[in-house]
Structure 1
């Protein structure tokens, strides 16, 4: 038996370096999430049910990062969350929401509300375009029971374009004819897609957004290791998921490695992040098994009690360094993602300097407007609920999702087996996630300038850590003053 020292973020500081950086705006914060996916900022929102669903994922991708939709819902629900992200922006909406001509106006209104869209294309059985119905048409309809084809704008009055149209040409048409939507038709009059003015505006407003080759926002989705998870993965990939996150508490386990290998055989082109691990051997084995990135963190999260309940874990800074060495030993250039323990922008800088390509954040984002759930008021202050995905509440939600309404699948014996490794808590309401990201990325830019680095790889190359004492930690914070 041997012992070794493990360090976390508060145990160290980075030594300042001579810097050629004249302005923090000159640094490049982009990173490779996987070999095929590049992010403008090295940040993922965690796949927790109190952190990331479609709304958070959209905001993260617009800011240049990526959100990972949690898996504690049915496959159908998770697919719908992914589709919401994919439909929120894109040069061409390949499969716009459609309705039949003989449907009623009330049904059109219901579909618009459900899918949060401002209009529906009206198609026949062979996908020929018959018309377009918008929210305005619905509001002005004399009767909610009227047929859609009685209130829609018919196809012969619509401006259309061929599928080969360029963004510049589409923008010209939309402006010239004061259009909101531009249907794309093939040579036989069948619908081939839809361009909206709103999507073009979003593209111009967020040039740094994380988008795929079709201009749609990127999104990740979490899966587990159960027998049904292969079907979940297939459905998520078909919906346009950019990266799967194979996520279990102890990723250096045979069933996780087996699942990773099975996923790689079934979906050889899929981008897969696997975890969580905290050791050289764990990272090496996941990389060798086919992971496109390895997620690191056993118990560092603010709401995780794994280390207390089980006695196992590795302090996060040491875990990152060991896992970076592990993936190198695998012979594959696989990025490492630091998951958990990020309390400040300084922690993020340290994680990246230690070798991580990106960080995954849960607790800091749980208090944001875009996180699932409504704020609660306590003593006149706003809070939001956050819970660990191994907490009792999360276990209940997971069982409910797995049963999908089958009450017979549950027994008291099942609940007797649950030993929580996380807690439920509240965090201060923090406003919109873009404001939190502004502070985090601003701190990263400043940190890179102190480290003499224009890029994250340069930050890692220049990094020199110094271990500090408890007095050094106190000195690092504001002290000997009364804060106003």
Structure 2
């Protein structure tokens, strides 16, 4: 039962929680970390760790997508980023990392003004496929109708439709919107779609036939959506709401399972762990992986909102470089703040609370602990 709070005489609102507001509670049983499984499978594709590299130019390049695949995860390439606009985007990535804060937005707008090229989409997908790993590429809803055939013909394994928010019922008076249900029905590959942050929105996305739903809105390190638009969805509540929608959709559909993938605000291992505790099946990581030595952003991080042509809702942020990708994922750790050995932290948290796999861990007890973040500073 949700309880609404009176904000003022004319408005009431539901109390919601960020991941910082909750804490995981140990149970009566503990396990050996070596016995814990982090396996994740979506459709026919199985992964050793439930981590997806976010489709952002500062996080995922063809090379890092290949590296993620060989390490047991999944790298998702942004198919309308610099890698599909330029034959050699490295000089532009280097330039972005050298820009001053004052110059970054204007210059990035100029760099990203170069059109996306279908032949480069094909070339990048082929490059990842030739390495023998699962191929995942992402388009925004606006670009999907233009390039989806190119993406599918190139041999993508998982198609991601990702935006700040994605609905199953976009209404427009000026253009024909993407019919998600028809599009997914006619497609031959599994589709992951989002973001969504409410029970109702995610339930509608599940009904389109999506294999997975991305959960999140305005919570990433490089996003200023909350400040610019006043819109924000605290992640703990958002994940729990979408988890409940998945449960109800399973009853409605006769057992069809749609994966809940947390996306945004997962910069440290503790955030990642609590996302699973709230009901996520996997997590899409941005700033957490942008700190890798191999990350194309070279210690800087930004998303497509940072170079929006009309209303930027993000920024390029300096997050630094902490470790090579393999060490960042699997350790050994050399800091005590949750930046390195992300998989090891998840495995140990599950062992400490007595759970052997991710589905079981979704049942772990949590408490509301709003003082936690202040105590840890």
Q: Please, what TM-score do these two structures have when normalized by structure 2?
A: 0.78
CA RMSD of aligned residues (A): 1.9
Say whether 1:220 aligns with 2:136: yes
Whole-Å Cα distance in 1 between the matches of residues 136 and 43 of structure 2? Answer: 15
Whole-Å Cα distance in 2 between the matches of residues 81 and 430 of structure 1? Answer: 27
* Counterpart selection for 1:11 from 6, 13, 21: 21
Q: Which 5+ residue runs of structure 1 have no aligned equivalent?
A: 89-215, 376-383, 396-414, 478-484
- Once the two structures are superposed, residues 322-377 of structure 1 have per-residue CA deviations (whole angstroms, 9 ceiling, x without a partner) of 0111222233310100001112212111101111000011112123233224x4xx
* Counterpart selection for 1:29 from 27, 34, 38: 38
* Counterpart selection for 2:373 from 473, 478, 483: 473
Indicate the residue corresponding to 1:163 in structure 2.
none
Say whether 1:46 aligns with 2:54: yes
Indicate the residue corresponding to 2:301 in structure 1.
386
* Counterpart selection for 1:261 from 181, 185, 200: 181
Indicate the residue corresponding to 1:85 in structure 2.
128
Indicate the residue corresponding to 2:204 in structure 1.
285
- Once the two structures are superposed, residues 159-200 of structure 1 have per-residue CA deviations (whole angstroms, 9 ceiling, x without a partner) of xxxxxxxxxxxxxxxxxxxxxxxxxxxxxxxxxxxxxxxxxx
Indicate the residue corresponding to 1:318 in structure 2.
237
Whole-Å Cα distance in 2 between the matches of residues 436 and 424 of structure 1? Answer: 22
Q: After TM superposition, give the deviation of residue 476 of structure 1 in Å.
A: 4.5
Say whether 1:443 aligns with 2:345: yes
Map 1:45-124 → 2, pairs under 5 A: 45-71=53-79, 72=81, 73=84, 74=116, 75-88=118-131
* Counterpart selection for 2:276 from 306, 328, 352: 352
* Counterpart selection for 1:333 from 238, 253, 257: 257
Say whether 1:272 aligns with 2:282: no
- Once the two structures are superposed, residues 32-59 of structure 1 have per-residue CA deviations (whole angstroms, 9 ceiling, x without a partner) of 3x23322210100000111112111011
**Is the CA contact (8 Å cut-off) linking 1:282 and 1:326 kept in structure 2?**
no
Structure 1's 49 and 458: CA in aligned 2 closer, same or farther, altered over 3 A? same
Whole-Å Cα distance in 2 between the matches of residues 2 and 77 of structure 1? Answer: 50
Q: After TM superposition, give the deviation of residue 304 of structure 1 in Å.
A: 0.7
Structure 1's 424 and 466: CA in aligned 2 closer, same or farther, altered over 3 A? same
Q: Secondary structure at the residue paired with 1:390? A: helix
Whole-Å Cα distance in 2 between the matches of residues 42 and 273 of structure 1? Answer: 14
Q: After TM superposition, give the deviation of residue 271 of structure 1 in Å.
A: 0.5
Runs of 4+ in 1 over 4 A off after TM superposition: none
Structure 1's 474 and 224: CA in aligned 2 closer, same or farther, altered over 3 A? closer
Q: Secondary structure at the residue paired with 1:441? A: helix
Say whether 1:432 aligns with 2:324: yes
Say whether 1:362 aligns with 2:254: no
Indicate the residue corresponding to 2:156 in structure 1.
241
Indicate the residue corresponding to 2:267 in structure 1.
343
Map 1:386-465 → 2, pairs under 5 A: 386-392=301-307, 395=308, 415=309, 418-438=310-330, 439-461=341-363, 463-465=364-366
Q: Secondary structure at the residue paired with 2:214? A: strand
**Is the CA contact (8 Å cut-off) linking 2:214 and 2:263 kept in structure 1?**
yes
Q: After TM superposition, give the deviation of residue 20 of structure 1 in Å.
A: 4.6
**Is the CA contact (8 Å cut-off) linking 1:54 and 1:84 kept in structure 2?**
yes
Whole-Å Cα distance in 2 between the matches of residues 276 and 234 of structure 1? Answer: 22
Map 1:146-225 → 2, pairs under 5 A: 216-225=132-141
Indicate the residue corresponding to 2:88 in structure 1.
none
- Once the two structures are superposed, residues 127-180 of structure 1 have per-residue CA deviations (whole angstroms, 9 ceiling, x without a partner) of xxxxxxxxxxxxxxxxxxxxxxxxxxxxxxxxxxxxxxxxxxxxxxxxxxxxxx
Q: Please, what TM-score do these two structures have when normalized by structure 1?
A: 0.61
Say whether 1:251 aligns with 2:166: yes
Indicate the residue corresponding to 2:104 in structure 1.
none
